[in-house]
Amino acid sequence: MDSKQFREAAVASIEHIVKYYDTIEERGVASTVEPGYLRKLLPAEAPQEGEAWADIQKDIEAKILPGITHWQSPNFTAWFPSSSSYPAMLGEMYSTAFTGAAFNWICSPAVTELETIVLDWLAKAFGLPTCFLSTGPTNGGGVIHGTASEAIATVLVAARDKYLREATAHLAGDEEAREDAMALRRGRLVALGSAGSHSATKKGAQIAGVRYRSVPVHAADGYKMTGASLRRTIVELRAKGLEPFFLTATLGTTDTCAVDDMDSIADVLAELGRASSPGFGEKTDGAGDIWVHVDAAYAGVSLVCPEYQHLARGLSRFHSFNTNLHKWLLVNFDCSLLYVRDRAPLVDALSVTLPILRNSHTDSGLVTDYRDWQIPFGRRFRSLKVWFVVRTYGIEGLRAHIRRHVGFAETFAGLLRGRPDLFEIVAGPRFALTVFKLKGSEGATLEQQNELTKKMYETILAEGKIFLSSTVVGGLYAVRHNPATPFVEEHHVRKHFGIFVEAAEKVLPK
């Protein structure tokens, strides 16, 4: 394909994509293919000779689109959104054109430098504490990871190694003895999440080769983790000779968008995390601290609105923070921002360059080697799409985007409240999420109630007019409604409500 053929093919593809977006509502929102559908449509072996673009492009509509679930449809309310925008798509086009492995600064200085700049822009726009700025007082800063799960695994590894280095500081100079001591100690380490936190922390612990334990949450606390519950868990684990070294606190849990009680968590850790960690003595320099990562994968971007920024106030007491622009802030997947208060533990854990060989540029902060802030070596030029989105919308435009969806969730919750004969809200509206169930009828057991709500959920899924997900919180089966896609309007949300009413009336006993 030469540049002339590419120009034609690209223009045809853009026409196709524009038409796809302009008519996305007409497509069934979730794919209805059967497992294995595509193997029946494609040859068993790659073609020997090249094919023309026109033939390839035809197959997109014929063979690929039936297997696509339309995340940008206004009828998509499942999980969390994965929002798209046109300027982000332009960013991906240019990023692909400037392709390179970009594993260090000279690979393309713009890749490193634009990333630092736009992450500082957003840290300021989110009202994050200055410790998360690249120019802040604690040598911290931000980096773009692919996903929140990658970000969490990465800081978990950094926290593990920081803790082990501090626990074996007395062996410095005898590296073989220290390696042995670290290996033994590693076996006692425990990473913590809450029962509401995303399983990414459990997976991160599996990757890092440490234990994982969950801190209980309770309906009475709105499913948020509290300092009191955390304290009990830490004390119990220490009594068994185990050493909690890492905690994920969540700002907007997956199930219900609960916000953990950051202040009481910080208070408990100030008391239990440091001086009283076994084997660390009375140090007050952060040695033996439990590293707290705040996972704000979905809800974090709401901080772009001043009315949410009180949620960021306590973050300066913690070590790291992530939020996904690819969920709710109009940057196409993937784009998870990770901020750390101090970059040194990341580099210490992930650099394969001996300290003696690190160059002066790196250590002076002039040049950031982002490969040492992440698991992969190579990197894409992801900051370009962020730059395009932020400039195209402006901070005010991004605020309007968030507020629109929050307004829709309030409208939806109001509609639910107007039919107390049919629905009960389990949690929310929080951010753009409302979690609800069918009204339990007089004398029905929990199992019977759950069965009815599940039946409503399955009825709606089978109809295929909207796509949604369900959850179980505190033993209650509930459905989640999260209308945060780019093209959704109030009339869609009212239509969704109508679909719920119809299904509820079908399912509930007359």
Site for a copy of itself in 268-307 (CB under 8 A): none
DSSP alpha helix (H) spans, 209-341: 227-239, 262-272, 325-328
Smaller CB separation from a copy of itself, 207 or 444? 207
Check residue 237 for interaction with a copy of itself (CB under 8 A): no
Question: Footprint of a copy of itself on residues 388-427 (CB under 8 A)?
Answer: 388, 390-397
| Side chain identity at residue 47, one-letter code | P
Q: DSSP string of 100-140? A: ----SGGG-HHHHHHHHHHHHHHHHHTT--GGGSTTSTTS-
> Contact between 245 and a copy of itself (CB under 8 A)?
no
- Indicate whether 459 belongs to the interface with a copy of itself (CB under 8 A): no
To 10 degrees, what angle do helices 227-239 and 262-272 make? 30
Q: Quick one: 42 or 228, whose CB is closer to a copy of itself?
A: 42
Strand 189-194 with 243-250, pairing: parallel
Contact pattern for a copy of itself over residues 360 through 389, marking x by CB under 8 A: -x----xx-------xxxx-x---x--xx-
Contacts of a copy of itself in 49-78 (CB under 8 A): 49-51, 53, 55-56, 60, 63-69, 71-72
CA dist 196 to 141, 248, 292, Å?
A: 27, 10, 16
Phi-psi map region of 141: left, alpha, beta (phi>0 left; psi -120 to 50 alpha): left
Query: Least distance (Å) from a copy of itself to the CB of residue 8?
Result: 10
Which residue carries 């709105």 as its tokens? 222
Return the ∠ at Cα 436 (arms to 412 and 489), rounded to 5°.
25
The DSSP H or E segment spanning 400 is helix 383-417
Residues 329 and 304: beta-carbon distance below 8 Å? yes
Binding residues for a copy of itself restricted to 102-141, rule: CB under 8 A: 102, 105-111, 113-114, 116-118, 120-122, 124-125
Nearer to a copy of itself, 82 or 256 (CB): 82
Which residues, at least 6 apart from 228, have a Cβ–Cβ distance to it below 8 Å? 264, 268
Closest CA to 260 of 329, 345, 328, 192: 192
Residue 1 touches a copy of itself, criterion: CB under 8 A:
yes
360 or 445, CB closer to a copy of itself?
360
Give least dist CB 23 to a copy of itself, A. 10
Name which position in 29, 30, 329, 466 contacts a copy of itself (CB under 8 A). 30
5 part of the interface to a copy of itself, by CB under 8 A: yes
Q: How far apart are CA 155 and CA 244, in angstroms?
A: 15
CB of 430 closer than 8 Å to CB of 256? yes
At closest approach, how far in Å is the CB of 381 from a copy of itself?
A: 9
Q: Which is nearer to a copy of itself, 281 or 376 (CB)?
A: 376
Close Cβ partners of 146 (under 8 Å, ≥ 6 residues apart): 334, 335, 336
| Site string (73-92) toward a copy of itself, x via CB under 8 A | ------xx-xxxxxxxxx-x
Which 155-214 positions form the footprint of a copy of itself (CB under 8 A)? Answer: 157, 160-161, 179-180, 183-184, 186-188, 199-200, 202-203, 206-211
215 binds a copy of itself (CB under 8 A): no
Nearer to a copy of itself, 367 or 499 (CB): 367
Among 165, 171, 316, 333, binds a copy of itself (CB under 8 A): 333
The least distance separating a copy of itself from the CB of residue 501, rounded to whole angstroms, comes to 25
Name the amino acid, one letter, at 305. C
